[in-house]
Amino acid sequence: MHASGHALATDFGALIREHGDAVEDRELAGLADGVLTGGLETTASMLALGVLVILQNPQSATLLSGGCGDSISQYVEELLRYLTVVQVAFPRFATRDIEIAGVTIAAGDAVACSLSAANRDTARGSHMNDFDPTRPGVGHLAFGHGIHRCIGAELARMELRAAFPALLGRFPGLRLVVEPDQLTFREASIVYGLDTLPVTVR
């Protein structure tokens, strides 16, 4: 098991031992889903997809391997914006009739927000479909927004800021062993990610 996954399983086991009788099965299942999806799968997917982007943009890798804290932070923020591993927010339900941008939403309608589309909206800047780690901060919705913003956002940022430079420092010869168009991506998954990322670390 992945080290982070083992730690999460241990923490979840402690929760069950200490509070299991006070938590209903449905609530426990929801907690497990939140912990494993939000605390493990998103970070693992972000690391794999981030490595792919870095390997496809090798000229920018020096910003991570030899950069300062600010350049590393800016690089990670651009990866978060560009990749948006949770691409669709949880659905919302209209409590009253409302019109937004010329579209009528009736009370009771479900609304699904595309976070990836919002992060690439040209209203936020130019060439938003491109990865540019030198892009001035434009902000992003990779962690959602408002009261529904990801509670683990700052932990995720810290993990990514540490992991990418460490990975490049440990494996400076990291290379893809297949052509990018041979890679396959998850289908019908809440978390966007790769099925596999074959690399050599020579």
Q: What's residue 7's pLDDT?
A: 53
Q: What's residue 41's pLDDT?
A: 87
Q: What's residue 5's pLDDT?
A: 52
Q: What's residue 152's pLDDT?
A: 86
DSSP class of 201: -
Q: What's residue 1's pLDDT?
A: 42
For 147-187, the pLDDT digits (tens) are 888 888 999 999 999 999 999 999 999 999 999 999 999 98
CATH 1.10.760.10 fits 3-200, yes or no: no
Q: What's residue 46's pLDDT?
A: 96
11-17 contacts, C-beta under 8 A, 24 or more apart: 11/35
Contact 186, 195 (CB under 8 A): yes
* Residue 192 neighbours by CB under 8 Å, 6+ apart: 45, 49, 83, 84, 85, 86, 87, 116, 185, 186
Q: Using 70 as the pLDDT threshold, list the residues of the chain that sit under it.
A: 1-12, 34, 37-38
DSSP class of 123: G
Q: What's residue 108's pLDDT?
A: 96
Question: Domain-by-domain residue ranges, the chain?
Answer: 3-200
Strand partners, 88: 114
Handedness of CA 75, 73, 201, 45 (dihedral sign): negative
- Cα 142 from Cα 82, distance rounded (Å): 9
Strand partners, 103: 100
Q: What's residue 165's pLDDT?
A: 95
Which candidate, 30, 27, 35, places its Cα nearest to that of 5? 35
Handedness of CA 163, 54, 49, 177 (dihedral sign): negative
> Inter-axis angle of helices 153-170 and 69-83, to 10 degrees?
110
